[in-house]
Structure 1
């Protein structure tokens, strides 16, 4: 068989070593070594065994190797694209079944015999009833990404409030993914198609930082609801991370990168070894990753919180080193630096960006072990074990004190020895620089063990798997202030006496006036320690139920049992949060979950129409039961066009933290309508409140009466593979997600309703002057959302002797609308195309358009990639000089480039540049961290890196 437009020439010289085992395993190894997509139906290929062998290459050409491998087998091959072949049974084999080769062109996969994400069925066709993005090993390699979060950040379907080490103040060292702009809890993350445990504080989502990129074979992103298949959390979609299996040989990789100014130095090393025998396989992967810091002060965009020159507002803190001291309602003074006092002005605000980390330094070590043993009689024993340790160190500005609004009685007595004013003082705002910057240290240990049996009996495949997952996380935040000790230190000699081990504290003096004895008396450290556990047992089987005139009827069914538990607590200062930190409180709880599920695929017209369905019954010990169905159809009116549509319901169970947390306090960034000009006309305001404040003490709490969030998901799509352009494919998919009973605390909603209607006086507590002293926000099922938009994917491949292999792709996602209702009776807002910082309770950046396009090239030993990322312009609103302003956040485009050369003896060297044109993120006036949205853009600037790998 000869290809008219050029042969594959990607294989290493002088020969390709192939392991012993079944044909599937051999083809996996061959495809990876030659970087060719090989498609094979595992149910037939797994029964054909091959010995260990080495096949010589002819100028690195793939075709002669494959022909020699299959020459005495009942298989042949056909080309399904410039970079892909399908291995199929020979036509004269009586058991041969039709294989839809053209469909393979629409999927970016290396080797498959297993079902795609979103179904337990193993279709002969590779058509999916929902859009799936697949990032296979070549794509992972050419991006230069070193973490899963980094890899997913710029995907078009990802927007909103994901976390990562680009989130400093408010981050905890974890990384999450948010599809469709919905919270991370609405995207289900799987490893090898199986559910994994959430982070160690019982968080709402899996921590991507506990999944080493070096152990990943491919990532499949299902952009559709999948509760009928996987259960809770799969409302926005599913990210299925497929780990390496059947790796053969030795691979050693190193990476080093640095931003052009010389900071954010990052290095990683990983080693993978695998060996196959006649009856089994063993693989070990070890990895180390270290990311250096990028400080806010080292980039022009983030160096100052005063953004008036950019058209924003002054976000510097009123808590200044010289102190904001309110003597009465009309007189506010500060230290003049010469032992006296002068009037405090807005220019005395403090620029906290001098201390903060914009990109948090972090470190991770991981080990992954995979093995299997062939037990005979079509049964296989498998084991997967993973351990990973992560650490992140965040630097924050020195602790601010707001005596009127922080926890405890922080009034300065008239006779306190450092009070020169002779009157009681209630409102002092001081940045205690003498304590030094706050240091937040996050550590996580995660262990995962999966083991089980899987096998095949005639046309049916089955799997019985057990899993034990455990994560322990700890967080320390140092150089805080104990509110109880500070309270004592601000009182007069009758209450603060040195004989009672009390030290008077000077908050009214100049910067530097707090001596070491005072510091050690009031210094505090917040400690949080938590663990999350999951134990699960799964049985699933799939195969051919029967047949009709149109083909085989496929079915799958299974049961799953899980036990989930959390236990975390913090050392809050006798029920109060340490000043400068948060009180994480505590939560302890567990639940039992039992689920049963089934799927069905019925062909209605031969190779033209299929009807698919799925249903899952879930029973939770803490809130009850739910049933979620899904129905889908696929129709080929012509060989080159497929229409797909689906409808499904979904749910997200309240987390154990949602239901059980107590004692959580935080200073939230909120806006009080009572600080505006019209405060006197608002029913809930007691006059005009203090406009200098931007943070408010908020208490959050769990609610054991919570019910699941529910959703309806609809999709309609077209897949076009024109016969005239055999190397081109296109897909267009419309999606609509309607969500109800959203669990929310919404302190901003409570403040707004309190100010405008006078309601929630028991939740929004104000003093006699109308200033908020505390907000009590308990989680409730009160919200509703609707997200509607479309996904577009174009792909073209071309191979010739002159140019080599070229592959171009474009992926784009359009958010038509994002309707959000905070609570019943509140207005519904369309947030599409807007940015509202999550520190203010917002959904983050929700661009109407987000896209990337890239060109990949490979010829002989050379390969390269060029990628362009695009984020559409956004709108944000804020108040400046008592006027409501709406401004545009500029669109942003970045360019990434990599070129690699395969040296002899298995060496590969690559050089890459991220953000080639050094494009700074667009300025966001309302961004809490560093004047931009770190969840959507990158602050590093031009970033250089190099990799060196050895593969044997």
Structure 2
């Protein structure tokens, strides 16, 4: 309702009864003698509106005026700068608010979002070990994390320091979060770049009064993943000034691969998979002129496939990590209609992952690693080109990641002639560091494998024995070849934003709402790696370097026009963006909202979107890695393939790959369409249901896809300059430069139902169901290449795939509160998937089973402010389903959880 409608109405003080727990009779009694009525706009939302006038009825005026003016401003929803007077969004929004956050038992934002139905694909977290970097991201609709925009309080934040592709959720403390709004629709017209798949808007606490102390402790039933969390929040002030302070500490223990049956071995033949053990074993793989041998207690013997090495004895399945944070929010009223605000946040994160000792592949690693015939440890009197050795004497590789993030926002906001305005200045900074130890310097090793005539030319050269038994590499040799890699990256963002919104005018059907604003932003990325002179150390990766910045100027506007009073609205938005490095782009959005009946809302929208190439995409040089890929030339039919020079080595699963930036990249573009209905029956006041269809079509996708290059090279003889092979047909190097070459189309359905009932007998009961269905996920790696439907499939990200894309992902749960007792029960479901891989030289497919878990929490609160809860996640101890093509731990850690049954307790005090 409008402010001037409310300001002239008074009702006497009344004692209203709710005999059955429903608020409807009380509201009917309260508004009985006014021109107002109410309607339900959601399970927890009621809108007070003017009654429809009967024909010939005159406008009544109230003879009483209130002592204070009442102004109803509405609330802006994620996806719009307009402050709607009714909670009617033209796109589906999931809201996770108190007490939903408490009842989940989640202690991190990434943990909370991982099981949302709309989240699928390659999101990262501390569950991702080999290939992870301690950060956490979210991937809506199965699109890359860079296609989902993460906001804090509706404002853009700095991306992570390791590459600037997406925001790091680990730098947002859950203890400071009031609610999380997930917009499942494109929003480039409102927010600019990256909002192709949707927006995750994290609303922090700002107006909290009092003191809140919270503690958490949990561990798996097997005794690992010991996790603790502590937070203190205080807020207070007077009518002009309010200050809030929040401190938090979070520590998560590890889970080792060897401690779970799903992940304890890389040999998956008994499960219907392949043997993924490594040819680089402590005993060695030594290819001589006429045979391949290995070490044994009785000397050298012929090498067999049973000599492959199980590297899972050393690896982490869940990375131990810790985070500390401080958050400060200040509001100060300068005048009746103007106030100043400031928000400051500092976060420190640390993690440490373990990997198996460094493997050496002399034929395929950097440098000339041929073992000379006159090397003092070579008993075979011939040059040896191909030796594969696991140097366990070095000890396990240890990867240490650390991030320090600082965010500061300050500004003014106020009200002027029914228009609200806000001016904000922001400065964000994040520094990320990574150290990987117990690697090998390829150039020192190259010298150490030569004969005395070469090694003696270098005074500090120490010959190294790669041909001996375990323990034959002594400390002097280890000290000579041992190395550590370092990556140091910084991301910065500074911005100034001005936004104003309010009624543009009044037409017979209602108020026309509008918003407009401008934003100036500077983004900068700078990172470098310390490696082997521009190449990767053996056992690690070279991230290279990237240095760049861009200036961005944007203007935007929105409008909402009521075409029929309380029945039909036309919404529009447009954003114009000017980037200093690639040019300009304009993205509009149009939406219709139609309410044929008070209980039914039909909504439809069309929008274009874009994702700017990251500064790393455009500026990176020297990135080199051993990628987990598949070469079709290793199959038995290799002689029939155009690009194969005979059958390549079947035991290889990693290939040296060089990636590179491209300053000529253009933005990825998209078209987003949606159509949905929302049903909120007035005679069933606690019920809310919605069904939304979405369609995302994306072009000019930035991709490197070394797997695509290999496939085209092997099958069609293409890209011979990018896929380099030796005379035997084995790949020696892959060169992959980023290009705008890909295209996607994702289409599906979101469905949700919620019901709430309050009665004296049962207390408060809430039930909800939320599901997301991918109807199709069409992916084309490059123009002219086949279009694949990835719906319901799993292709590991280590192989360049999109991860798990289940047709259905859903959750349902019930929450009860009666007196001092609370309880929650939640079911998470992930549909079955299909994967394809090579088994015994045949390309086969298999099913990855569906996965269902059950979470339970019971809590008791006392009047003095104490609350105690005990909960268990994965109540029936359901292991993640086996995936034969998953590199990390034989399952997709981005979709499932390896911990098993997990117990936790929480204790809190609020006053």
Residue 84 of structure 2 aligns to a residue whose secondary structure is: coil
CA distance in 2, matches of 1:752, 1:560: 44
Q: Does 1:223 align with 2:184?
A: yes
Aligned residue runs from structure 1 range 112-127, under 5 A: 113-127=74-88
2:105 matched residue in structure 1: 144
CA distance in 2, matches of 1:651, 1:184: 14
Q: Does 1:727 align with 2:681?
A: no
Q: Does 1:754 align with 2:713?
A: yes
1:676 matched residue in structure 2: 635
Deviation at 1:466, TM superposition (A): 0.4
Deviation at 1:723, TM superposition (A): 3.2
- Cα contact 1:187–1:233 (8 A) shared by 2: yes
1:43-85 per-position Cα deviation (integer Å, ceiling 9, x unaligned): 999999xxxxxxxx999x999xx99xx99xx999968499746
Aligned residue runs from structure 1 range 121-520, under 5 A: 121-328=82-289, 331-338=291-298, 340-497=299-456, 500-520=459-479
1:75-114 per-position Cα deviation (integer Å, ceiling 9, x unaligned): 9996849974648599988799xxxxxxxxxxxxxx9942
2:649 matched residue in structure 1: 690
- Cα contact 2:525–2:546 (8 A) shared by 1: yes
Deviation at 1:576, TM superposition (A): 1.2
Q: Normalising to structure 2: TM-score of the pair?
A: 0.94
Cα separation, partners in 2 of 1:581 and 1:44, compared to 1, 3 Å? farther
Residue 353 of structure 1 aligns to a residue whose secondary structure is: helix
1:142-196 per-position Cα deviation (integer Å, ceiling 9, x unaligned): 0000000000000000000000000000000000000000000000000000000
Cα separation, partners in 2 of 1:164 and 1:94, compared to 1, 3 Å? farther
Deviation at 1:759, TM superposition (A): 1.3
- Cα contact 2:765–2:814 (8 A) shared by 1: yes
Deviation at 1:337, TM superposition (A): 2.3
CA distance in 2, matches of 1:84, 1:732: 19
- Cα contact 2:330–2:341 (8 A) shared by 1: yes
Residue 591 of structure 1 aligns to a residue whose secondary structure is: strand
Cα separation, partners in 2 of 1:161 and 1:75, compared to 1, 3 Å? farther
Cα separation, partners in 2 of 1:478 and 1:45, compared to 1, 3 Å? farther
CA distance in 2, matches of 1:679, 1:314: 20
CA distance in 2, matches of 1:833, 1:203: 30
- Cα contact 1:78–1:85 (8 A) shared by 2: no
Deviation at 1:377, TM superposition (A): 3.8
CA distance in 2, matches of 1:838, 1:915: 26
- Cα contact 2:41–2:86 (8 A) shared by 1: no
1:594 matched residue in structure 2: 553
Aligned residue runs from structure 1 range 862-901, under 5 A: 862-901=821-860
- Cα contact 2:807–2:831 (8 A) shared by 1: yes
Match of 2:533 among 574, 578, 584: 574
Aligned residue runs from structure 1 range 656-805, under 5 A: 656-805=615-764
Deviation at 1:793, TM superposition (A): 0.4
CA distance in 2, matches of 1:158, 1:89: 36
2:806 matched residue in structure 1: 847
CA distance in 1, matches of 2:425, 2:685: 44
- For the aligned residue pairs, the C-alpha RMSD in angstroms reads 2.5
1:578-635 per-position Cα deviation (integer Å, ceiling 9, x unaligned): 0000001000000000000000100000100000000000000000000000000000
Q: Does 1:924 align with 2:883?
A: yes
CA distance in 2, matches of 1:390, 1:322: 39
CA distance in 2, matches of 1:363, 1:831: 36
Residue 514 of structure 1 aligns to a residue whose secondary structure is: coil
Deviation at 1:460, TM superposition (A): 0.5
CA distance in 2, matches of 1:499, 1:761: 38
| Equivalent pairs, count | 884
Q: Gaps spanning 5+ residues in structure 1: where?
A: 1-39, 49-56, 97-110
1:821-858 per-position Cα deviation (integer Å, ceiling 9, x unaligned): 00011100000000000000000000000000000101
CA distance in 2, matches of 1:271, 1:838: 38
2:893 matched residue in structure 1: 934
Cα separation, partners in 2 of 1:308 and 1:833, compared to 1, 3 Å? same
Cα separation, partners in 2 of 1:499 and 1:197, compared to 1, 3 Å? closer
2:69 matched residue in structure 1: none
Deviation at 1:722, TM superposition (A): 2.1
1:30 matched residue in structure 2: none
Residue 751 of structure 1 aligns to a residue whose secondary structure is: helix
Match of 2:587 among 628, 631, 634: 628
Q: Normalising to structure 1: TM-score of the pair?
A: 0.90
Residue 877 of structure 1 aligns to a residue whose secondary structure is: strand
Cα separation, partners in 2 of 1:851 and 1:492, compared to 1, 3 Å? same
CA distance in 2, matches of 1:249, 1:176: 32
Deviation at 1:904, TM superposition (A): 3.2
CA distance in 2, matches of 1:294, 1:711: 40
Deviation at 1:724, TM superposition (A): 3.5
CA distance in 1, matches of 2:511, 2:532: 66
CA distance in 1, matches of 2:93, 2:43: 19
Deviation at 1:203, TM superposition (A): 2.7
Deviation at 1:901, TM superposition (A): 0.4
- Cα contact 1:685–1:755 (8 A) shared by 2: yes
Residue 454 of structure 2 aligns to a residue whose secondary structure is: coil
1:690-719 per-position Cα deviation (integer Å, ceiling 9, x unaligned): 111000000000000000000000000011
CA distance in 2, matches of 1:786, 1:904: 54
Residue 749 of structure 1 aligns to a residue whose secondary structure is: helix
Q: Gaps spanning 5+ residues in structure 2: where?
A: 10-16, 52-59, 65-71
CA distance in 2, matches of 1:125, 1:85: 9
Deviation at 1:245, TM superposition (A): 1.1
CA distance in 2, matches of 1:766, 1:312: 28
2:55 matched residue in structure 1: none
Residue 933 of structure 1 aligns to a residue whose secondary structure is: coil
Residue 917 of structure 1 aligns to a residue whose secondary structure is: coil
Cα separation, partners in 2 of 1:77 and 1:470, compared to 1, 3 Å? farther
